[in-house]
């Protein structure tokens, strides 16, 4: 399976500010995925990041709030913009490299907005 | 996106008891995947089921995929404290959402020693 390095692992941010989360994969992958997991909840897909094109956002998520970059096939960033306490959550990136294997997740970014 | 329902939401068992979580989709799935998330950790892939009626085992864990490829289950025999965590099933998107993965709400397993 792929190895993903995600950072920061956690942060405490002031409301109104922005935080950029980075994910680096040890091999090239076509699609990278960004999820949000609120405390005690399931994973909700935010968007799919494709290299060379704009990210595809799920219903309820918009580019202005969660801009994504995908400059190459091994790297992506997710920015949480103009944060409010409701954005406090764990953010995870994920990739799928092999058809016969599942998705690999980064270790997550635990965000607290105060 | 794809909706996958999972029950129960919580399960508390004594060590040595069995545990089962169930997953159900309103549409046929091309495959279903299971993940485990330990407290404070991230989801870790356990297994993928592809064939109708498929049954796979990993030591004390048994995974089943329904004949209609709309439901699945994970059964743990004789639970241990190391089994503690949240178990998620997940189904892939179709059509325009192909390649994406949608998670059930998960079953949080607590094991008392």
Query: Nearest-CA distance from B112 to chain A in Å?
Result: 20
**What DSSP assignment string belongs to A31-94?**
EEEEEEE-TTS-EEEEEEEETTS--EEPTT--TTTS-EEEEETTEEEEEE-S--GGG-EEEEEE
Separation CA A46–CA A91 (nearest Å): 9
Interface test with B, best of A92, A102, A105 (most B CBs within 10 A): A102
Query: Nearest-CA distance from A102 to chain B in Å?
Result: 6
pLDDT, one tens digit per residue, over A39-80 is 889 999 999 998 888 899 999 999 999 999 999 999 999 999
- Structure tokens belonging to residue A23: 């994910």
Q: How many residues does chain A have?
A: 114
Q: Is B31 on the interface with A (CB under 8 A)?
A: no
Q: Digits of tens for pLDDT over chain B (113 positions)?
A: 568 999 999 999 999 999 999 999 988 999 999 999 999 999 999 999 999 999 999 999 999 999 999 999 999 999 999 999 999 999 988 877 777 889 999 999 999 99
- How many C-beta atoms lie closer than 10 Å to residue B20's C-beta? 15
> Closest chain B residue to A91 measured between Cα atoms?
B42
Provide the pLDDT for residue B1.
55
Determine if the peptide bond prior to A107 is cis (ω within 30°): no
Contacts of B104 in chain A (CB under 8 A): 42
């Amino acid at each position: 399976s792929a190895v993903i390095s995600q950072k920061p692992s956690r942060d405490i941010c002031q409301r109104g500010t922005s935080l950029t989360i980075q994910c680096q994969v040890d091999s090239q992958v076509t699609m990278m995925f960004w999820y949000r997991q609120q405390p005690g909840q399931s994973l909700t897909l935010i968007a799919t990041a494709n290299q060379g094109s704009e990210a595809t956002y799920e219903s309820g998520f918009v580019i202005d709030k969660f801009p994504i970059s995908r400059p190459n096939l091994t790297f992506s960033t997710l920015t949480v913009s103009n944060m409010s306490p409701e954005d406090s959550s764990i953010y995870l990136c994920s990739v799928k490299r092999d058809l016969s294997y599942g998705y690999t997740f980064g270790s997550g970014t635990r965000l607290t907005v105060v | 996106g794809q909706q996958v329902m999972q029950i129960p939401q919580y399960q508390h068992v004594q060590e040595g008891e069995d545990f089962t979580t169930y997953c159900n989709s309103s549409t046929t799935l091309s495959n279903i995947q299971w993940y485990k998330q330990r407290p404070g950790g991230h989801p870790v892939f356990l297994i993928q089921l592809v064939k109708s009626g498929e049954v796979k085992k990993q030591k004390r864990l048994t995974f089943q995929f329904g004949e209609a490829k709309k439901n699945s289950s994970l059964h743990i025999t004789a639970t241990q404290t190391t089994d503690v965590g949240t178990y998620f099933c997940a189904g892939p998107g179709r059509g325009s959402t192909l390649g994406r993965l949608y998670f059930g709400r998960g079953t949080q397993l607590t094991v008392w020693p």
